[in-house]
Amino acid sequence: MTTEETIAALDRGEVRVAEPDGDGWRVNGDVQAAILDYFRSRRMEPCEVGPFSYHDKIPLKSGYEELGVRVVPPAVARYGAYLSRGVVLMPSYVNIGAWVGANTMVDTWATVGSGAQIGADVHLAGGVGIGGVLEPPGAQPVIVEDGAFLGSRCIVVEGVRIGAGAVLAPNVTLTASVPIIDVTGDEPVEHRGFVPPRAVVVPGTRPKEFPAGIYDLSCALIIGHRSASTDLKTSLNDALREHGIGAG
């Protein structure tokens, strides 16, 4: 496909930056490369939307009524992002190459970066920041699998994968290098770049020694797992209360 054809197929959901492949995900580096080529080939042009005025290279997405997507002003999705039926965009932003699954809520001031893959029945609460990853082609984007719940002001970047049904408390920040430590057993178990399915995660710190002294560095703590009887649509407060922590 040409670059233009690839971006049109992205917009329709016919191709994806990354897609499930067994227990893992397969990255389509050629699609990422096409998005980068599209940026390079486009020229800046004005765009008027009601009272709003823009000046950008990428057109805005359209056709929400036919897609069955609710978009609350002034939410913005760029052309080349795919929104499944039942998605709700509160005043938020979805960038080119992103894929958002059915019945997912992108809440107020949440952002979904370039190429990010967001599953079905996900809730991205207010101010959540999902980073974009397009280069180098072949790099894994941020992936949030079905049924996950990310609390307010969570930040997930650098290709971190959030497993299905996981719950992140407010203000959890995850990068590829931030330790994600399971403290539910007799000994800690450390993950990096991956939150296991149905894990309940809260912000944490752990000490590290430097020449100038010992200082606490950020980490994330897995304090439990959602029980099988917990409905996927349970509130964040309910999920955290199961483990003796309120959402705050």
Domain assignments of the chain as residue spans, ordered by start: 1-144, 154-248
Q: Compute the distance between CA of residue 31 and CA of residue 157 in angstroms, rounded to an integer.
A: 20
Each residue's pLDDT tens digit, 92-133: 999 999 999 999 999 999 999 999 999 999 999 999 999 999
Please check whether the domain covering 1-144 is classified as CATH 2.160.10.10: yes
Each residue's pLDDT tens digit, 62-89: 999 999 999 999 999 999 999 999 999 9
**Taking the complete model, does pTM exceed 0.85, yes or no?**
yes
For domain 154-248, which architecture applies? 3 Solenoid (2.160)
Q: Compute the distance between CA of residue 57 and CA of residue 80 in angstroms, rounded to an integer.
A: 12
Q: Compute the distance between CA of residue 233 and CA of residue 147 in angstroms, rounded to an integer.
A: 8
Average pLDDT estimate for 163-186: 97
Q: Compute the distance between CA of residue 240 and CA of residue 236 in angstroms, rounded to an integer.
A: 6
CA quadruple 168, 116, 157, 204: dihedral, nearest 10? 10
- Listed in sequence order, the residues at least 6 apart from 25 whose beta carbon sits closer than 8 Å to its beta carbon are 18, 19, 117, 140, 143, 161
In the chain the first and final C-alpha atoms are separated, in Å, by 49
Q: What percent of the chain shows pLDDT beyond 70?
A: 92
Collapsed DSSP state (helix, strand, coil) of residue 9: helix
Q: What percent of the chain shows pLDDT beyond 90?
A: 86
Each residue's pLDDT tens digit, 202-212: 999 999 999 99
**Which of 132-162 are b and which e, b meaning 16 or more Cβ less than 10 Å from the residue's Cβ?**
bbbeebebbbbbbbbbbbbbbbbbbbbbbbb
**What would the two tokens of residue 89 be?**
């965009």
51 pLDDT band, cuts 50/70/90, is confident
227 pLDDT band, cuts 50/70/90, is confident
Asked if domains 1-144 and 154-248 share a fold, the reply is: yes
Residue 52 is predicted with a pLDDT of 84
Collapsed DSSP state (helix, strand, coil) of residue 60: strand
Q: What is the mean pLDDT of the chain?
A: 93
233 pLDDT band, cuts 50/70/90, is very low
